[in-house]
Structure 1
Amino acid sequence: MGMQVNTNIAANNAYRNLSTTQNALGKSMEKLSSGLRINRASDDAAGMAISEGLKSQVNGYTVAARNAQDGISVVQTAEGALTQVHSMLQRMRDLAVQGSSDSNNSDSRDAIKKETDQLTDELTRMSEATKFNGKSLLNGTESALKFQVGADGTANDQITVNLANANVKAIANALNGGDLSTTGTKFAIADVTLVAGAASFTTTKGGVATTVTTADLGVAGTFTSVEDYATALGKDAAFSANFTVSVEKNANGAGTGIVVTAKDGGTLTNGTNGTPGTGLAGGASGATVTGGLDFSTSTLAQASLNKIDEQIKTVSEARADLGAVQNRLESAVNNLNVGKENLTAAASRITDVDMASEMVSFTRSNILSQAGTAMLAQANQANQGVLKLLG
């Protein structure tokens, strides 16, 4: 091989290899310092796309778990208040049982009425005071609350907490015999097995009439008791958003009809089932009745006892619903935590660097870099021999 001055092939070769080594050394240092195998899309384009999708899910699961925990807090707040409501209703029931005995004189019955009035007033206060983050839970303004417990935007990523049966204000209104008593419309039910189709109710307030039609509650023969029909009405979203319903019972405790009350305080002027003239009796608008407890006689005290029992049942159903949904939310939290753990592990396998393996690469590149630098220096000295020829 001849001796050239203008072109140093050995130096160019050494420089090219040194540049490649330095580039690999720089990437190894970046990976080791960041702990990530993928620091830019060019490191692994497909892996980067997958990892970003997994990151979205992991972050979504984290926030969803917090949402579910908030849902549990809401349920615990409402259920805790309902626990006290139950205690108050049980006390009122004790008083009603006491008032059902003719051993009480008028003063005793007045004392019973005064205590029950105070308790119903407290129920009203509790219904307005029980809130979570400014949202009233027990006064009927929130019939259902939705909690996002998933990372995506589908219906399966939400859990609904039903507060329709937790309307303590309606319970207080149904029991209160003072100025806070409500006026409802009574519908006698001649044969509940004949009730069919959708029910329609019209409330009028300030001269403005609002008609609400329920979903199809079933065909004739669906309901076996007045209580079943009242429960079906209460579970209908359109109905529960505008009305409350209670069951009228006879002295033997058998349901004979329903009382529907408009939440806006309006007058119920119409109410029909899907087949007018069957099932619901009492005319187009039914008979107007005023709620409240009365202990002035043994018979009225027994009727009041039945009303209290109905409200105790309502609260029991509400607490059962809340307890069930709390368990569901807790299960959702556990599932989210497991999912987050597995997705984080999957993302780690894609994006995190194997420190041991990368350290081997770094050491190799570092040695090659030092060797390449030394060889470049030797290559640059190789052409110095030409000077001897020129000397």
Structure 2
Amino acid sequence: MSLVVNSNIAGLNSARILGIADRQLTSSVERLSSGLRVNRAADDASSLAISEGLRTQLGGLKVALRNSQDGISVLQTAEGALTETQSVLHRMRDLAVQAANAGGLDDAARSNLQTEVGQLRAELDRIAETTSFNGRHLLDGSYRGLFQVGADVGHTISVGIGQAMSSAALGVAGVDVAAGGGGSTSASASTAAAVGTASSVTLGGAALTAAGLAALDGSISHGGRSLDLASIDHDAADDATTRLATVQSALDTAFGTGTVTATNTGGGLVLTGTPPAPGATARDLADATVVFTTASGASAAIGAIDAAIERVSTVRGDVGAAQNRFEHNIAKLGVAIDNTAASESRIRDVDIAAEMTTVSRASILTQAGTAMAAQANQTPRGVLQLLG
């Protein structure tokens, strides 16, 4: 072996190996400090790309889980209101059954029953008008909600409550348990009618005479509002033209100007609702439908209320089915979140036990390399003995 001074080969080798061990120790300490195996793209470029994709998916799944819970909250709000709507209808039916017991009631008692029925109808309308979630009405027949229940585009659930819950929409706006005889309800257009056509009802030729106006009974319903025909002031109506103007004024006040139009066709008084635009929905058609309800009487009221209860039950069934769908989606999202988080963790998180082994190895090599570098730096000093 030659002894040289200008090139300390042993020292250079020791310094190189010491640098490698020091970088390994620094990297392991960083991983243990952060808890991540991949802290930057240089650590593992492909793993970083996969991990970021999984993190994006995981974030979307967590938000979708909250969205699904919002959907359940909306449906629970609607369900609670529908429960009370059905309770009101059950009470109305009880009163109708009681009022039908004509042999045991006088007119005053039947009038008292009708007073409560009127209050219950008003409560039905109040529930339908005020039930809302975050500013959106749920029971006026217009609710349509699209919920993003997945992490990707198109992962949605659509919820609609297309049946309005007002007394008019349920067909009980004209229920009159105090009326002695039976009655009937007639509508000019039904849900099966062609959308885009106007809806109208004819009240009969006598309606435009003074006696005809005075004899008007029942109510007109349109778009969730109603007008008691007996409330029309006809005292100053001297001829058919004036009487027609009197009816039109009452309609404009009750439903809005131009919403329901009164026409004298010669065959009677015809009331026509504003036709919906082409391509309108069933809800638009329902809003344009004019419904005339005569005083029903207690016996007929029972059938009308039964039909209303059945409608509410159908809507409650739809709401419950949608809620179950959200529940299943939440369960699925929970599993997806767990599995995605586990996959991302296996790629990106550091194995503490394995990394501690690397730290121990790198630490020993660093100490040994430091000692050997110091030893290698002492070797060239032997040249001084030769020069002495």
In the superposition, the TM-score normalised over structure 2's length comes to 0.72
Distance change >3 Å, CA 171–CA 345, structure 1 → 2: farther
Partner of 1:169: 166
In the superposition, relative to structure 1, how do residues 162 and 13 fare at CA in structure 2: closer, same or farther (>3 Å)? Answer: same
- How many residue pairs were aligned? 309
Distance in 2 of aligned mates of 1:29 and 1:148? 42
TM-aligned CA deviation for residue 188 of structure 1: 7.7
Instruction: Letter of the 2:380 partner, please give it.
Output: N
1: CA distance, partners of 2:357 / 2:293: 84
Q: Which amino acid aligns with 1:16?
A: R
Measured after TM superposition, the shift of residue 147 of structure 1 is 1.6
Give secondary structure in 2 for the equivalent of 1:200.
Answer: coil
State whether structure 2 residue 124 is matched by structure 1 residue 120: no
Which structure shows the bigger proportion of residues in strand conformation? 1
Corresponding residue of 1:379? 376
Structure 2: runs of 5 or more not aligned: 176-184, 200-254, 260-273
| Larger displacement relative to structure 2 (302-311 or 198-207) | 198-207
Q: 2:156 aligns with which of 158, 170, 177?
A: 158
> In the alignment, which residue of structure 1 is the partner of 2:285?
243
Equivalent residues of 1:143, 1:241 under 8 A apart = no
* Structure 1 residues 49 and 206: alpha-carbon distance in aligned structure 2, compared to 1, 3 A threshold: farther
What do residues 278-328 of structure 1 show as CA deviations (whole Å, max 9, x unaligned)? xxxxxxxxxx54247x35xxxx33332222122111110111111111111
Question: Highest CA radius of gyration, 1 or 2?
Answer: 2
- Give distance in 2, aligned partners of 1:172 and 1:207: 21
Paired AA for residue 322 in structure 1: V
Contact 1:32 1:358 in 2 (8 A): yes
* 2:12 is aligned with 1:12: yes
Contact 1:139 1:170 in 2 (8 A): no
Residue in 2 that maps onto 1:72: 72
| CA RMSD, Structure 1 to Structure 2 (Å) | 2.8
Verify the 8 A CA contact 1:173 1:291 in the aligned structure 2. Answer: no
Please give the residue correspondences for 1:218-233 in structure 2 after superposition, counting only pairs within 5 Å: none
Q: Which residue of 2 aligns with 1:109?
A: 110
CA distance in 2, matches of 1:18, 1:170: 87
The residue number in structure 2 matching 1:346 is: 343
- Structure 1 residues not aligned, in runs of 5+: 179-183, 215-237, 245-260, 263-267, 269-287
The residue identity in structure 2 corresponding to 1:131 is S
Structure 2 matches for 1:134-283, cutoff 5 A?
A: 134-140=135-141, 142-154=142-154, 157-165=155-163, 167-169=164-166, 171=168, 174-177=171-174, 186-187=187-188, 199-202=195-198, 211-213=276-278, 238-244=280-286, 261-262=287-288
Using the aligned pairs only, state the percent identity. 45
Residue deviations 1:334-385 (CA, integer Å, cap 9, x gap): 1100111111111111111221111111111110011111111111111112
CA pair 12-6 structure 1, distance change in 2 beyond 3 A: same
TM-score where L is the length of structure 1? 0.72
User: Among residues 333, 337, 354, which one is paired with 1:357 in the alignment?
Assistant: 354
